[in-house]
Every structure is written in C-alpha cells, then in structure tokens.
Chain A
Amino acid sequence: MLALLKLIQSIIKTLHSAGTPGQVAAGMALGSALGLTPLMNLHNLVIFSFLVLLNVSFGGGMLGWMLFVPVGFLLDPIFDSFGLRLLTSASLRPLWTQWSNTPLLPYTNFNNTVVLGSFVAWLVLAIPIFFAARYGVAKYRATLGERVRQSRFYKAVTASQVYNWYKMFRP
C-alpha cells in the first residue's frame, strides 16, 4: 500500500515538477520498456539504470511503466507472433545463432519470442511515445496543471516525507 502511495505521489509530482516536458517524456519512453517487455529480464536492469543515471524524469519512467503494463499484457499474443517471425526468419538465423553462442548474451533471453517481440516493438514505439508524451505533458501543464496544483489533494501528496526522497531523482 505504501509503495502504491509512493508511486502515485511520484507520478502526480512528475506532471508538475521542474522537469521539462521533454525530460518527463524521455522518462516515460524509457519506463514504457519496463511495462511492455517481461520485467525480469537483463535488459530491464539496463533500462532501469538508464532511468536512474540519465537526466530524465524518474517519475515519468514510473508513470510510463504503470501505463504500459496493461498494454504489454494485451499485446503479448502480437509480441509472440512478431518475435517468432523474427526468430524463425532465415536471413536473421546467423545473427541469432551467433548471439546464442556468445557469452552472457543468452541471459538476455532474446531467444524467447515474447521477450524479443516486445523489446523490438518497444524500440520502434519509443520515439512515438516520447513525442506523444511531450505533447501531452506540455498540454496538461498549460491547461489543467495549475488547477491541480492548487487542489488539496496535490498539497497533501507533496507534503509527505517521501517527497524528499523523490527530489533526489528529480531532473
């Protein structure tokens, strides 16, 4: 419950933080990888590290994760068939064979149809997600943002001590 509360808190604050819409959108584009692809995979550790180390909105990343988890579940059959098509493509077989027999690379589970399909789909969708999120955040701040900032709910959320921790990752 506390974790959920923290998540909501960080997301709400993200939309009003000092981060530019571009930083929030970049965070969302990175975070969408965590939601679109199966979580317990090596590439997600790298994505998470980028989310922490790069000067993008961490809250945006969490928001992207949260928004794209259901999308990932819904699109799994498509990822499966897309990944299968890639893995069974004759022209790509030498590449997969090389990767399969290269140290550490097999631990990324790239040879799983859902992992590969969802990861490639994320690579393709990351740029559109970035631009859509940047437009959405800018629009939100220009229209609803100020009214939400004045609300009691927002003030209650930002008053929490957890906010202090969050500030460390604020862009």
Chain B
Amino acid sequence: MKFQIFRWKAIGPLLLFLAIIGILVWIFAEPVAKDTTEEASTELLGTQVDLGKLDLFPRQAAVDLRALQIADPFVLTRNLLEADEIHLKLNPAALAEKKIVIEQLNLQGMRFGTTRKTPARPQKGDGFAPQVYRSVQEWTNQFNVPLLSLTPIDTVRQLVLNPGQLTTVREAQALTARTDSIRQAMEQGFQQLKIAATVDSARQLAERLSATDPKKLGLDGTRQAIESVRQTLKAIGDAKQRVQGLERNVNGGVQLLGQGLRSLEQARAKDFAFARSLLKLPTFAAPDIGSAFFGKVSIERFKQALYWAELAQKYMPPGLLPHPAPGPKRLRAAGSTIEFPKVKEFPRFLLEQGRLDFSIGGGSVVHGNYAATVRGLTSTPALYGRPAVVSAHRRAAGSAIAAIDVDAVINHLSARTHDSANARLQGVKLPSFDLPGVPFRVAPGIGSSSLTFSLRNGGAELSGRWAIQSNQVSWVADTGSRQLNDLERVVFRVVSGLKELQVVAEVTGSVKAPKLAVSSNLDQAVSQRLKAVVGEEVAKAERLARAKVDSLVADKVEPLKKQIASVQGEATQRIQSEKKRLDEVEAQLNAELKRLTGGLAPGIELPKIKL
C-alpha cells in the first residue's frame, strides 16, 4: 500500500475552521480591541482609561476612538482629559511589523479636568505605573514641610522629655562606644610597635661601641661593628615607619571622634527643634510661614509633573539596546517581551503628528480657540531622531480661562535625558484650597498660574517652579467646628486684609534629594504681626526647651568630650614620646658610627647605608 503524506480530504474542514476563525475575528475584533486598548492604556498610564467605542477601518488603516476618558491618577473623581472623538491614521507597513505608527491624529471635543460620573479605580499591583505612583507618593513625604502652629502660649504644656527620645543621647552613647574601641585599637597599635626592644638593643650597641677603641678593633672588627650599626639603624628606620603608620591611624581615629562631636552639636539642634515642637509654639519665621501655608499645595503640583516625567523615562528609553517589558497577561507565565529596535526602521510606537485645532463656542466657560500639537512621541526616541514636542495654546478673552500655553519637550535621544514642561495659565479661576494646620481656606479667584518643571539625566537634576498670582484673593475662616483662638484671629486679620496673593515655590536638587523653598507675600506680614504679639513669650518658651534639652544631654556629652580629649592628648603624647626615643638612640648610633669610621685609613669607602 502506498503511504500518503497528505490527508487531502481534510483540506475542506481545515478551510472551514480557518473561515470560522476569520468570522470570529471580524465579529469580535472591535470589542476585543476596545477592551485591550482600555486595559493596556490603564496599565501603561497607571490610571483608569475608558473608551466608549472603537471602530476599525482596515482598508484605510485607521481607528476611531469615541468617548475617551483618562482619569486623574491623583484625583479619582476627576478626568485629566476627556475627548469625544479621536481619529488615528496608522501606517500599514508598520502594522505589518506589529508596530503602531500614528501618522496623523485628529481629536475633537477635548475637555480637561471634568468631573467623573463614577470615581476611577485606584491602580494596584506591581505594574510599573502603580510602582511609580507609590514612589511619587513617598517622594512627597521627603519634604519636611512645617505645620503652622497657632496654639496660644497660655496653653503651653509642661515639657516632658524622655532622654531616650533625644538623638543627642543616642548618638553620644554610640560615640562613647566608638571612643572605647578607638582607644583599644590604639593600645594594641602601641603594643605591636615593639619600640622598647629596638631602642634597648640599639642603646646597648651604642654603649658597647662607646667603650671600644676603634684602633684596637682592626679592619674586620671595625667592619663587623659598622655592619651591626647599619643593621640596628635599619631596625630603627623600620620602627620609625611603624610609628608613622600608627600616627596616621591614630590621626584618622581622632578625626572621626571630632566629626562625631560635631554631629552631636547637629543632633542637639534637632533635639531642640523636637522639644520645641512638643511645646507647639507658634511659628513666625517668615520662610516657615510660606512653607506652612503653601508647601503642601506646591508639592502636589510638582508631584504630578514628576509622575508623568517618570513614566516618560520608562516608556521612552534612550538608545537602541534591546528593551525588555512584561509579557502579555495569560494563563501561562507572561515572561518578558523584548524589543529589538533597528536603525532606519519603525519604532514600536510613534505618534508622528497630532494636531488639534478646534473651537468651542457659546457661553461655556471653556469657549475659545484651541490649538495643540503633539509630535514625535515614540517608544524609541533614538530611532525618531528628534525630541518629542507637545504644545497647546488657547485664546478666549472673557471666558473663565482666558489663555493657556503649555509647552513640553521630551528629549531622550541620548543617555543625558532632558524633560521639560512649561505651563502658563492667565485669567484663570484658580482653585481654592485649605491651609494645613489652620482652619482657613483661601480662594485665589481669577489670576495667573505657571509651572515649569525640568528633569535631567534620569532625575539626577531636578528643578521646578510653581507660581500663582492673584489680586482678587479672599479668605474664609472655618468657624463651623470651633472658634478661632487669639493667635488664629490675629493671623486671619492679617491675611484677610490682603487682596493680593503671590506665591512662588521652587524645587531643586535631585529626585532622591529634593529641596523645596516656598515664599509668598504673606510671609513677612504674618511673621511681623505674630512676632509683635507673641515674640517675647515664644522666646521664653524656646529658652525653656533649650535648657531642658541641655540638662538632659549634658551628663552624656560633657564626660564624652573629656574622654575624647583625653584619647586625643594621650595618643599625641605617646606618639611623640616614641618618636623622641627613636631619634635619641639613632643620634647616639650615628655618633658612634662617625667615631668608628674616623679611625679608618683615608681612601677606604664605607658601604652606603640606606635607611
């Protein structure tokens, strides 16, 4: 019987099977694509993305997205962006390579900051975006923003401090232990020097030679004596080197102890601040007032900018090296999917050109002419070769928002990345906010706001500036829950008399170690008024706190200072003493050597002694 490789009769059922798969794809492609787009975008951005409808146009290689909502990751009841319709024209050649290259994006019905009907789901899990969200939340905790305390002085409580609470006490105990260990190490070092044996033997040799007449020694005897002197001098040289080595070690240890003492002073300043905070004294240093009033709200602005910058760092890596990403979710393990970018080929994702030109008419608060462009937003900036640029502008005199100018540049062409964003809003109804620590709410009214934010070299250099300005500011005291106390009334009188508000917050440093400085036109006014009212009382309470801290740390720090001084003094004295002994015996030997060689016949050269 002839063996057949192919089962020809099965071609029909196979074609039928493939046709069924084709029909299923045709029927379910759009809903599946919609769900996948929602899921992938939510995971990528770390915030809920909703899509009303998705239409595919395979012949035109185009996609229409309708009713797009992107939730604000930091305010779940608000949408960051809402768009009625987005038309995407894709590059078919790129699609064949499983790459998304958007040649043209048109967007209609765009709105910002709209309220959501249902709050967005908070993003959880170990995905990159939730991790960034958590790290940005933690980032805000680094800032030591003082709370404005306006507790009246007559309610100051008795200051009760436990020594264990004080950093100085803890550091002093640690430094005592360190001093003991340095002293022990030093003692061991002196014992290992073995200077006494070297000095004694050298001295004995010198004494023996001094009692000898070189003329009676003869040539051999003299040569032997010189050789003995040479060896002893070498031993002295070695001992001197050991002393120098020990001196270096001792100096290092002494320096460490000195640093420890200086850090004790810093710890004492911290403890004083801690004791002061227990007394809940009113703050009236001008920089503290600026930070207390507007620090929190400023950090919120920078936090949002940092979140998007961190996402850009991840999704737009510089260079052309293979780039791993988590694989697709499935029953089987997801693994990692690795991208292999290639010069002159399409990147995995590219938005070549997005233009948004549209108007909103009527009496709506958002009416006006909008113009926005997005260019070069890509997963592989090195392939595109130009920085990504986002800009949005709006002009509409007479509306609640008179002008918006947003410009952002994401430059990840090389490892020296630079992301910068600049947003300016003029004639904007600025959102009101509560002041932390006090029952006041400030409504800045119509004014201007600007935010500049820059992140270089993957977060190594951070700089941001947020400013608001308004001359229609109004203040509301929340007296519903309790009456204002005297100090709060003083402050409220000061601030409510001001109709102008200028706040500037600046963040500098790096992402890991940011520094925040906030100033406002209120700082000096509030500070001076508070100082006039309660300055003397506060100074008295501060003296009390300082005295309390000093009394608790004195019995730990003062003996330690003496102990450290004793270690330093003893070490220096012993080193000098050992050096002196060695120098003396060396001089003695050199004198004997000179005497020995003086009896030799002229012309006889002695071996050179290298020390």
What is A's interface to B at a CB cutoff of 8 Å?
38-40, 49, 52-55, 72-73, 76-77, 79-80, 83-84, 87-88, 93, 96-104, 106-107, 109, 111-115, 117, 168-169, 171
Instruction: Evaluate contact between B338 and A54: CB separation under 8 angstroms.
Output: no
Closest Cβ of chain B to A21, distance in Å, is 14
Instruction: Evaluate contact between A115 and B335: CB separation under 8 angstroms.
Output: yes
Closest Cβ of chain B to A134, distance in Å, is 15
In the complex, chain A residues whose CB is within 8 Å of the CB of B346:
101
Instruction: Evaluate contact between A111 and B340: CB separation under 8 angstroms.
Output: yes
Instruction: Evaluate contact between A111 and B332: CB separation under 8 angstroms.
Output: no
A117 vs B14: C-alpha distance when bound (angstroms): 28
Residue of B3, B93, B335 near A113 (CB, 8 A) is B335
In the complex, chain B residues whose CB is within 8 Å of the CB of A99:
340
Mark contacts of B323-364 with chain A using CB atoms, 8 A cut-off: 1 yes-contact digit, 0 otherwise.
000011010111111111110011000000000000000000
| Top 3 A-B pairs, shortest CB-CB distance | A114-B335, A106-B98, A76-B333
A109 vs B332: C-alpha distance when bound (angstroms): 14
A114 vs B5: C-alpha distance when bound (angstroms): 32
Known: A53-B10, A96-B322. 5 other contacts (CB 8 A): A55-B4, A98-B342, A100-B97, A113-B337, A114-B333
Instruction: Evaluate contact between B322 and A52: CB separation under 8 angstroms.
Output: no
Q: Which residue of B lies closest to A100 (CB)?
A: B340
Count the B residues whose beta carbon is within 8 Å of the partner chain — how many? 33
Q: Which residue of B lies closest to A102 (CB)?
A: B97
Residue of A38, A84, A88 near B330 (CB, 8 A) is A38
In the complex, chain B residues whose CB is within 8 Å of the CB of A106:
97-99
- Selected A-B contacts with CB under 8 Å, 11 pairs: A52-B10, A55-B3, A76-B332, A80-B336, A83-B335, A93-B340, A99-B340, A104-B96, A111-B338, A115-B335, A168-B9
Closest Cβ of chain B to A127, distance in Å, is 18
Q: Which residue of A lies closest to B5 (CB)?
A: A55
In the complex, chain A residues whose CB is within 8 Å of the CB of B164:
none
In the complex, chain B residues whose CB is within 8 Å of the CB of A96:
322, 338, 340
In the complex, chain A residues whose CB is within 8 Å of the CB of B335:
76, 79-80, 83-84, 112-115, 117
Q: Which residue of A lies closest to B11 (CB)?
A: A53
Most central of A49, A101, A109, A117 by chain B CB within 10 Å: A101
Instruction: Evaluate contact between B342 and A54: CB separation under 8 angstroms.
Output: no
On whether A52 and B7 interact (CB within 8 A), knowing A100-B339, A114-B334, the answer reads: yes
Q: Which residue of A lies closest to B332 (CB)?
A: A38
In the complex, chain B residues whose CB is within 8 Å of the CB of A84:
335-336
Closest Cβ of chain A to B343, distance in Å, is 10
Closest Cβ of chain A to B525, distance in Å, is 62
Instruction: Evaluate contact between B338 and A97: CB separation under 8 angstroms.
Output: no
Instruction: Evaluate contact between A52 and B333: CB separation under 8 angstroms.
Output: no
A80 vs B7: C-alpha distance when bound (angstroms): 36
On whether A54 and B7 interact (CB within 8 A), knowing A88-B322, A96-B340, A102-B97, the answer reads: yes
